[in-house]
Amino acid sequence: MTSTARPAVSRPRRPRASGGGGQAVRLLVLIAIVAVVLYPLFWMIGASVKSQEEIVSNIGLLPREFTPGNYVDGWTNFDLSFGRFFLNSAMVSLLTVVGNAISCLLAAYAFARLKFRLRGMWFAVMIGTLLLPGHVLIVPQYILFRTLGLVGGEWPYLPLLIPQFLATEAFFVFLMVQFMRGIPRELDEAAKIDGASAFGIFRHVILPLSRPALVTTAIFSFIWTWNDFFRQLVFLSSLEDYTVPVALTLFIDSTSQSAVGPMFAMSVLSLLPVFLFFLAFQRMLVEGINTSGIKG
């Protein structure tokens, strides 16, 4: 903190600008932190090019004998190319992003801005759904989805996706509510007096100003779905439908198989799409929202 505070004092009038010595110091601090924070990941990348015996016995960062073949083995290990699992995961994750973004935004707008009977109660129920540990819900949910005929259909991803289009991820609803409540209400009031309907306000005031919340939701929806194991394991049943997290566990059957090298190689690869997704979307967090012209 001190390193950021110091240059600020000397340039109080230009709070967003930074540079010179201050930036160099900050950069050094950041690089040092990053190096420590990322060491485990470097280790993982190192492990992905180690031979099987080395992963087990050599705990150092670098391989003694460079084994890039893990990547080839991992990619071609199954009857299907590993790329198939990437495509499956990408599809599920992207559709989840769309579902969450739309449905949670609608619900959040209702909670944050509209007045209707029982709003407080529904809000409490929504928070309440965050609190029950998920493991006791898996079995009842499975039974329910099967009753509804969603399990084992032609397209096995329905049970994974339908809830996402129904705003069941209370996390995102609550997140968006908090963001929307940060948007000055005067904007709504002005629009109302101009005759805008609730939908009009949503469309012209809230939606444009909800970008940070939407971007955040998109990032998390994508990454969490990409990494989700248990639900995907329960609902997907054939190799060609498996997603990356499920496929990654196939390399290691703790009692009978230990293809750790290919597993590490594919784990490293599976970080790439999410990393790129994050890199792309975080850019949208760079520019602040332009609320100028709005006087409080």
Partner 1 sequence: MALTTAPDPTRRGTGSARAHAPRGVAGRIRNSEGLAGYVFLSPWLIGLMAVTAIPMLLSLYLSFTDYDILTPFSEVEWVGFANYERMFTADPSYWHAVRVTLTFALVAVPLKLAAALGVALLLNRAWRGVGLFRSLFYLPSLLGGSVALAIVWVNMFNRDGAFNSLLAVFGIEGKPWVNDPDWALETLMVLAIWQFGAPMVIFLAGLKQVPTELYEAASVDGANRWRQFRAVTLPMLSPVIFFNLVLETINGFQGFTAAFVLSNGTGGPVDSTLMYTLNLYIKGFTDLEMGYASAMAWVFLLAIGIITAILFSTGRFWVHYSDGEDR
Partner 2 sequence: MHPATPPTAGAPAGRSHRTARRNLLRGLVALAVAAPLALGAAACGSDDASDAPNAPVKLSIFWWGGDARGKLTEDALALYSKKHPNVTFEKTWQANQGYFDKLATLTAGGNPPDIFQIDDNALAEYAARNTTLDLTGFKDSGKLDVSKFPKSLWQYGVVDGKLAGLAAGENTQGLVYNKTLLTSNGLPEPTSGMSWEEHIAWAEQVAKKAGVPGTMDPSADYKAFWVWLRQQGKDLYKGKEIGFTAEDVTRWFELWKGARDRGATPTPDVIHEGNATDITKQLVVTGKAGTSWVWVNQMPELKKNTKDELGVVAYPGDPSAQWARASMYWSAFKGTKYRDVAVDVLNFLVNDPEAAKILGTDRGLPSNLDLRRVVSDDITDPAMKQSIAVETELAQKFGESPQVPIKGHSKVRAELIKAAENAQYGRATPAEAAAQFLAACKSAIV
- CA 142, 147, 148, 151 torsion-angle sign: positive
Q: Which residues 90-149 are close enough to bind partner 1 by CB under 8 A?
A: 102-104, 106-107, 109-117, 119-133, 135-137, 139-141, 143-144, 148
CA distance 296 to 279: 34
Distance of CA 150 to the CA centre of its chain: 25
Identify the residue among 126, 176, 180, 259 touching partner 2 (CB under 8 A).
Answer: 259
Judged by CB under 8 A, does residue 269 bind partner 2?
no
CA nearest 226: which of 103, 83, 66, 85? Answer: 85
280, 76 Cβ separation under 8 angstroms: no
- The whole-angstrom separation of Cα 81 and Cα 252 is 17
The span of 66-74, 85-93, 233-241, 285-293 binding partner 1 (CB under 8 A) equals 285-293
The yes or no reply on residue 237 touching partner 2 (CB under 8 A) is: yes
* Residue among 97 and 223 whose Cβ is closer to partner 1: 223
Contact set for partner 2, span 5-64 (CB under 8 A): 52-53, 55-57
CA distance 208 to 188: 13
| Residues in CB range of 250: below 8 A, 6 or more apart | 78, 242
Q: Which is nearer to partner 1, 90 or 112 (CB)?
A: 112
Interface with partner 1, residue 5, by CB under 8 A? yes
Phi and psi at residue 85, in whole multiples of 5°? -70, -35
Contact track, partner 1, 145-184, x by CB under 8 A: ---x-------------xx-xxxx--x-xxx--xxxxxxx
Binding interface with partner 2 (CB under 8 A): 52-53, 55-57, 77-79, 138-139, 142-144, 146-147, 151-152, 229-230, 233-234, 237-239, 246, 249-260
